[in-house]
Amino acid sequence: MPDQPAPTLELSPIVAGLWRIAEWKLDVPQRVRWIEQALELGIRSFDHADIYGNHQAEALFGEALQASPALRSRLQLITKCGIRLPSAPQPPRVKHYDTSPGHVRAQVEQSLRNLHTEQLDLVLIHRPDYLMEAAVLAETFAALTREGKVAHWGVSNHGTGQFALLHQQHPLMTNQIELSPLAMDALDDGTLDQAQRLGLRPMIWSPLGGGRLFSGDDAQAVRVREEMTAIATRLDISLATLAYAWILRHPARPHPITGSGRIEGLREAVAALDVRLEAQDWYAIWTASTGHAVP
């Protein structure tokens, strides 16, 4: 079967990540205001997962939407499912991945309740399930789409073969993968090449290296920070903005996902949209990260 056509859903260039919303300790009015400020910056896509915040993150965001229902029509809700944790309300015996029809349906319906919405704009399978039956999962996707519960589907952390297997059965919109100046496997493992070939813009998690970019004391982090600090100073931008700009420079047209509850952190990400790195600066950062010049 030929590659499926690209589904149509245009995410905002920068996506707001809600992984740590429980740690932000915002009350409901503060959460409403945070969403409003993100929207004012042009960020309309909000990334969740059923397991984030020990299974509480979606509900915290949903309380804000319930308090201010008009927000729903202005934003896009993205969530993930497929990981079963021992800390779940009904814990499994062992952490594992589950893409069975019953689990995917149950988690989608729970996310709808948590987020106080009738439809999710995009649902991703969080991790590749070694026991996934692609045709069966595709049937589940199609059924939930027909029922109006999910508009679009994608995956997260899937390799090229895993992506192709499922995409052949049901059109996927994106693959959410890790990429940063400190984690560059996606540049060589084919996932970004596949995204570019299919015209499916990838989403990028941990674009700031999980904080290592600012405080890591290992040799790689120190090299990258020194090189990037010199470039950022010359361009008169922050280190964070430069990290986002480095990702945005890739021709696969990635959507970086923020992780900060600070509005200033969102502003730094959005500022990267106005930065176009020269190839030499991009490769200087690559060189600092790998510790050697290109072959």
Active site residues: 52
Burial grade of 192 (CB within 10 A; 0-12, 13-18, 19 or more): buried
Position of tokens 């509850």?
261
Give CB contacts under 8 A, 24+ apart, made by 1-6.
1/168, 3/167, 3/168, 3/198, 4/167, 4/168, 4/170, 4/171, 4/172, 5/171, 6/171, 6/173, 6/198, 6/199, 6/200
How many Å is the Cα radius of gyration of the chain?
19
Residue pair 174/145 in contact by the 8 Å Cβ criterion? no
CA dist., res. 277 & res. 273, Å (int): 11
Residue pair 277/228 in contact by the 8 Å Cβ criterion? no
**81 membership: H or E segment, kind and range:** strand 76-81
